[in-house]
Amino acid sequence: MVKGTLEKLAEIRRGELSAVENVSLSLERIKKLDKKINSFIELNPNALTEAEAVDRKIKKGERVGRLAGLTIGIKSNINVAGLRVTCASRTLQDYISPYDAEVIKRIRVEDGIIIGMNNMDEFACGSSGESSAFGPTENPAAPGHIPGGSSSGSAAAIAAGLCDLCLGTDTGGSIRNPASHCGVVGFKPTYGLVPRQGLIDLGMSLDQIGPLAADVSGAVLMLETIAGRSDNECIMLNVDKVSYLEKLRDVDLNGIRVGISRKFAELADPAIMDVIDKQIEKLHDLGAEIVEVDLPNLERGLPAYYLIVSVEFFSGTRKFDGRKYGRRIEEVCGEEVLRRILRGRYISQKEYRGKFYQKALQVRTLIKRELMAAFEKVDVIAGPTVPKLPHRIGTKLTPMEMYAYDYLTIPANLAGICAGVIKAGEINGIPVGLQIQGKVLGELEVLRVMKALEATE
């Protein structure tokens, strides 16, 4: 039986498993399996040295951090000093980061070992994990199928047991989508709970850094590590730190209200809904009250999101002009990245802002109001994560067919709320994830539901 994250952490702290042994095991698995999976772009050459330092602390009886000796993969759009931060693009293929992002500093303080940089969709523009300049990522849980994106390498690395924890980013579902396809736990925190300093962002008003893990406790451990206000950022919630693990020891769903919506069945494959409905029944059996909520404009979030994110992405990529570092993005980027740049440039023109961008912002407000109204009746909303099963790698999809993967995850980003994903079941061997959405700073309620479901497996 595979050890849980907290169990492994306890073994390292007791000296039964050294940090060096744990890192060595990760590196061996990566060497053995990752040529096929392609979940890592680059490995940290200092990982074993850093592990040795953790072991010395433990042997001396010194305080060690909450992540002591655990191996951690980082999505390649988060700056890690001394490693290439490529965004899986030829634009930045030779960019070596001179600094650590704030979340990386927090991981290091807690003695987590960065094992390497994970593959991803180029500049986080994708829902499949196929658009990386370094090649597509395989889904270890459903070989031959996409792992989902854009945090494809992070989810695949967890699913294959290549490392203990990963960091991904979520702009419209990029943590939750691959978590669902790969059968792992993923969590998108409330917007502004986790610092984004050092993230090469896709959409500054939508992005959030969050964890992927093999179990809920692992995701919580990482979330507790990275969450909390940073003095270097202005757009952050007034929360110094979070503490969830202790409150999840005795999981009881009595009194918790779980919202469901008919809209989910309209947008999702019936076979996926069958799996999800069984999980809703299980929540009811665990003591939760199931309440129907109305989300009439849910599907309007998709076109609004792609208009907003294209404008923000266009603006954010103007620094990649080939003068200071990297290469000019338009000259070397892939098809989807260029499509979003051109779309954003077009919409950003003065004569089109009112016609497209301003209307998209109005829809964003509408979606947020509907979700806030629903959360007056319920504590969380449960439903499918993606509306369809992952396609086979290499299948040609139109842009709209690809964007459709994001129908059910985008609303949480538009509203700035939190959402987590846990495996709900399988269809013909392919994982299906249940998405639990919570209100702003409703992380504890979401995690309670996820933990309760995990305990029934």
* Dihedral pair phi/psi, residue 429, rounded to 5°: 85, 0
pLDDT in tens, 52-75: 999 999 999 999 999 999 999 999
pLDDT in tens, 83-95: 999 999 999 999 9
Q: Which residues are catalytic?
A: 75, 150, 174
List the one residue out of 54, 190, 182 whose CA is nearest residue 118. Answer: 182
pLDDT-derived band at 2 (thresholds 50, 70, 90) equals: low
Strands 380-384 and 257-260: parallel
Q: How is residue 66 written in tokens?
A: 């909450």
In residues, how long is the chain? Answer: 457
- Angle 415-292-185 (CA atoms, 0-180°, nearest 5)? 55
Q: How many domains does the chain have?
A: 1
Q: What is the mean pLDDT of the chain?
A: 96
Cα Rg, the chain, nearest whole Å = 21
Q: Please report the pLDDT score of residue 297 as a whole number.
A: 96
DSSP labels, 305-318: HHHHHHHHHHHHGG
The enclosing H or E element of 5 equals helix 5-14
pLDDT above 70: residue 384: yes
Task: Give alpha helix (H) positions in 38-161.
Answer: 47-60, 102-109, 152-159
DSSP labels, 339-395: HHHHHHHHHHSHHHIIIIIHHHHHHHHHHHHHHHHHTTT-SEEEEESSSSPPPBTT-
Q: What is the CATH number of the domain that holds 309?
A: 3.90.1300.10
For 250, residues 6+ apart whose C-beta sits below 8 A from its C-beta are: none
List the one residue out of 225, 264, 224 whose CA is nearest residue 248. Answer: 224
pLDDT-derived band at 80 (thresholds 50, 70, 90) equals: very high
Q: How is residue 293 written in tokens?
A: 């909520």
Q: pTM of this prediction?
A: 0.97
Query: 216-226 and 5-14 helices cross at what angle (nearest 10)?
Result: 70
The enclosing H or E element of 291 equals strand 289-292
What is the residue range of 332's domain? 5-455
Q: Please report the pLDDT score of residue 457 as a whole number.
A: 82
Residue 21: Cβ within 10 Å count: 15
List the one residue out of 425, 420, 421 whose CA is nearest residue 456. Answer: 425
pLDDT in tens, 206-235: 999 999 999 999 999 999 999 999 998 988
Q: In whole angstroms, give the CA distance from residue 67 to residue 58.
A: 13
Q: Please report the pLDDT score of residue 249 as a whole number.
A: 84
The enclosing H or E element of 21 equals helix 19-37
Q: How is residue 105 written in tokens?
A: 């500093």
List the one residue out of 445, 443, 431 whose CA is nearest residue 214. Answer: 431
As a whole-number percent, the residues of the chain with pLDDT over 90 amount to 95
pLDDT in tens, 305-350: 999 999 999 999 999 999 988 899 999 999 999 999 999 999 998 8
3-state secondary structure of 210: strand
Q: In whole angstroms, give the CA distance from residue 366 to residue 54.
A: 49
CA 417 to each of CA 120, 207, 358, 371: distance values in angstroms, whole numbers, following the listed order: 24, 12, 22, 9
pLDDT in tens, 109-140: 999 999 999 999 999 999 999 999 999 999 99
Q: Please report the pLDDT score of residue 1 as a whole number.
A: 42
Q: In whole angstroms, give the CA distance from residue 240 to residue 195.
A: 11
Q: Is the peptide bond before 128 cis (omega within 30 degrees of 0)?
A: no
* Dihedral pair phi/psi, residue 108, rounded to 5°: -65, -40
